[in-house]
Chains A and B, each alone.
Chain A
Amino acid sequence: MSASLSVEGLEVTYRARGRDQRVLRDVSFTIPAGGAYGLVGESGSGKSTLALAALDVLPRAGQITAGRVRIGGEDLRGLDGAALRRLRARQVSMVFQDPARALNPTLTIGRQMAEVYEVLGLPRAEGETRAASMLGRVRIAAPQRVMASYPHQLSGGQQQRVLIAMALAKEPELLVLDEPTTGLDATVEAEVLDLITSLRDELGTALFLISHNLRIVGRMCERVGVLYAGTLVEDGPSETLFANPRHPYTRGLLRCLPEAGRRKENGRLETIPGFPPPPDRRIVGCVFAERCLLADAHCRAVAPPPRDFGGHVALCHHAERVPDLARATADAWTAPPVPPAHLPPLLETRDLSKTYRDGGVAVRALSDVSLALGSAETLGLVGESGSGKTTLARLLVGLAEPDAGGAIRLDGAPLEARARGRSVAARKALQIVFQNPDSALNRAHTVRHLIGRVLGRLEGLTGKTRERRLTELLAAVRLEKRHLGQRPRQLSGGLKQRVAIARAFAGDPRIVICDEPTSALDVSVQAAILNLLVDLQHERRASYVFISHDLGVVRYLADRIAVLYLGRLMEYGPTEEIFRGPHHPYTEALLSAVPTLGAGRERIRLEGEIPSPVAPPPGCVFHTRCPRKLGAVCEREEPKLDLSGEHAIRCHIPRAALPRSRDGQMRAPLARNDVPTL
């Protein structure tokens, strides 16, 4: 039986503004029939281009300039338009990153699904019955209702399941998934990945999974390729590649992840210094040489040939030295971490609620949240979309007004609700780093203006003193003087986030709210930003409220964690206790949803969708999805959160009964958990 996808010496060139940019360089790999191949790489590495080239659907500016792609043994070069269309209609499917954009907003789901069958030559009526049964197979509870819906009426998870159903409808030999779960919440992501795994087992479809998330690829695929600057630098079986990488880049990427259990007290995160080469640069030697600690003159002069370590191929002259590769970033902190002082809290919220009015409907985004934050302490806020994380951040800095009855106290004194009404000292004390630097930095202004303006407004600085402080801040966030005259679009994502952090620290804040500051960044850049945040905390004794959906990051950074669900505080306590347990059933599910490279943790499935905050379920808001629901009491009565102790859990199950026995009924074994611990 021939391979379902084979790529040989593929080179793709984009022509932009009269210049050729080589986006893929001599890429070769094979996916056997029914196999699963994962492709990892950071943004700009050429991952998506490879997916598009594999289906021969490159944009007009892109062209395959060398090499060949075969699907099911058939060379795409030899096919004319009609044959290509036939192949795409029957043998390959693709699922894109953003399901909302991949569905046609003006057609019902049923109509769009039936189209897939019509292309295959089935009559319309039969197409619709087959569509309904396919939706059932992707675990959509009410297929008829979903068929009659328009895309915007479905949640992101449902949309992605519909797309997977459409992709699998023709029972393809090959399914290409380009970042299929990137926009989804952790529990939904875990569910979609489970679904893909089980459907793959049922249908025997080969998978080509593209992701920036090493853990997902490690969990889903038998074989993994690592793409860097358009070059497949390493290609091998998942187990050996993750356990024993043979390319310095792979090694660096794996070390950038905050590993399980690592905390800021244990040391810094590893980073990969430097930047990938631009695609229009002519590269003579190894593509990674510029950023590699092992690189020597030979590496810069001669491109490394593929070196085979028993089916595990790496493009590195020094592959045998990779296991002993030194860290690029010093492990120890220059200033030792300050343990948070357990003095009276710096910032406190008492019964904070927020109700938005949306066309006459009241939406309770946040409900009676009481938290405390000490000096130089980091509070992690964890929860899925709609949990109220961002609403809480906006209330704290004064961008929104809380409902009557709630209060925010700074040093024990109540704060004005709106930033406008707060004193300069209070405004200086509380600053925020937004999630997306593209939105948070005014693109019309230079870095000098962006940071200088804050120094002027909050510190009243002008002239020479302002300039001196500006230089200090720049150095603190590891930017250089030449960045001062640049505008945001001239900076990379990581540099932009550094400017945003410098701006937040310009007024010498006591508390900085970080709203998912690294979620838009690549892992290597994320590690550098997290190191920077800890450095700044040491130097300036700032406290953080750190919002994230990435539990690994929160565990690394936070001293205490608050878990939010539908605007309610479900669990609150010191980080290690939150991770050690006993957990709230929701926290337990969140923890188990994180794909790990380590030995498999058993997964807890959450049924159904996150309820809408417009009509939260009565009683305990989590009862609709709770795998450990006791019964009527959960539907009737909201459990109390006892904040008197260190570790509070909002659940009817008594504390002593919360820890589970090792073989609880609801546990589902991981489909692929054979990736050894790093």
Chain B
Amino acid sequence: MSAEQSVSAVRPLAETKQEVLEDSQAPTRWEVLRRSGTFWAGGGIVGFWALAALLGPRLVPWDPYATDLLHELAPPSAAHWFGTDQLGRDIFSRVIVGSRDILTIAPLATLLGTFAGATLGLAGGYLGGLFDIILGRIIEVLVSLPLIIVALLVLVALGPSSVTVVIVIGLVFAPVIARTVRAAVLGERALDYVAAAELRGENALAIMFVEILPNVMGPVLVETTARLGYAIFTVASLSFLGFGIQPPSPDWGLTIAENYGVIAGGYWWAVAFDAAATASLVVGVNLLADGLYGALAA
């Protein structure tokens, strides 16, 4: 037994302290996140809407679908906090419940885009060669197309449905995420742990998903959150144009489309609250993304 071994056995305390010290020199990512006002503000807004989507139907004061033709376009009051729409439906209840569809479709679309994009980016960055070159060119072409026009074309061709919206947005996002992931993978690929994995005979899938992926999760997470903001925006736009979420959903984009004609008559409340809800959700998601990015850069 070497003296070195015996001494470290006698003094495990000193060694442990040293190890703790090494990663305590700078604040950890988690600590930066915990102290980030941006992150918590964004988290608060998004959390609010997530709760609204989950529990909304049980909490709202009125049935969001119940029409009341005697109280059409009533201004905000104690009974109807946000007023009523052209069919006399309670706008407050509709705004709260209206978060459900968009908060289902946008995250699903983002997840699909992240999964497809991360896989492509990992494969391009790790495998390299001809595959990477071709993938790179395809990504450039897809990224240069205006998102909303591509989405509209596909939806016109296939007919609007929520599933189609998820798939279309997911596929349009994939190349953008693939590009971010590929750049991160190129940095990791040059590290010796990848060579070590090859030397013990790991296959390409294991190297990509077990070895490299955990180390590029940071950028993937930031990109995904930022994309979620765009997805919400896109779903709202498509619904507004009539190709997204379909009636009778109280969806915000759809409600704005149905009611924007009456703004000229002074009935601002018919669209203002839905517009504000959409904006607040997008801002909240972007704040979350900013907070995550700040923590990642630390």
Contact = CB atoms under 8 A, between A and B. Distances in A.
Given A330-B2, A478-B4, A427 B200 contact: yes
A17 interface: yes
B19 A486 contact: yes
Contact of A290 (B11, B26, B192, B198): B11
Given A273-B8, A478-B2, A434 B21 contact: no
A421 B159 CA distance: 50
The majority secondary structure among interface residues of chain A is loop
A198 interface: no
Interface string B6-47: 011101101101111111111100010000000000000000
A528 B7 CA distance: 13
A337 to B, nearest CB: 16
Interface string B170-203: 0000000000000000000001110111111110
Interface residues of A, number: 55
B211 interface: yes
A277 B24 CA distance: 14
Nearest to B204: A420
A397 B4 contact: no
Interface string A269-309: 00101111111110000000011000000000000000000
A462 interface: no
The majority secondary structure among interface residues of chain B is helix
A420 B3 CA distance: 41
Given A277-B14, A329-B2, A492-B18, A399 B201 contact: no
Nearest to B1: A334
A458 B4 contact: no
Nearest to A420: B198
B198 A419 contact: yes
B144 interface: no
A453 interface: yes
Contacts, number: 119
Interface stretch (A64-72, A114-122, A199-207, A437-445): A437-445
A445 B191 CA distance: 15
A16 B201 contact: no
B199 A398 contact: yes
B266 interface: no
A420 B195 CA distance: 11
Interface string A426-464: 010001101110011111110000000110011000000
A329 B5 CA distance: 10
A273 B7 contact: yes
B8 A439 contact: no
A672 to B, nearest CB: 34
Contacts of A520: none
Contact of B196 (A328, A491, A503): A503
B214 interface: yes
Interface-central residue, A274, A279, A328, by most chain B CB under 10 Å: A274
Given A330-B2, A480-B12, A492-B19, A17 B27 contact: yes
A278 B27 CA distance: 16
A218 B191 CA distance: 36
A434 B198 CA distance: 14
A278 B18 contact: yes
B14 A275 contact: yes
Given A273-B8, A489-B22, 13 more contacts: A274-B8, A278-B21, A290-B14, A291-B7, A330-B3, A398-B199, A399-B198, A419-B199, A427-B200, A440-B193, A442-B193, A491-B19, A535-B2
Interface of B: 2-5, 7-9, 11-12, 14-15, 17-27, 31, 191-193, 195-202, 211, 214-215
The 6 closest A-B pairs by CB, nearest first: A444-B214, A273-B7, A278-B21, A440-B192, A442-B193, A434-B192
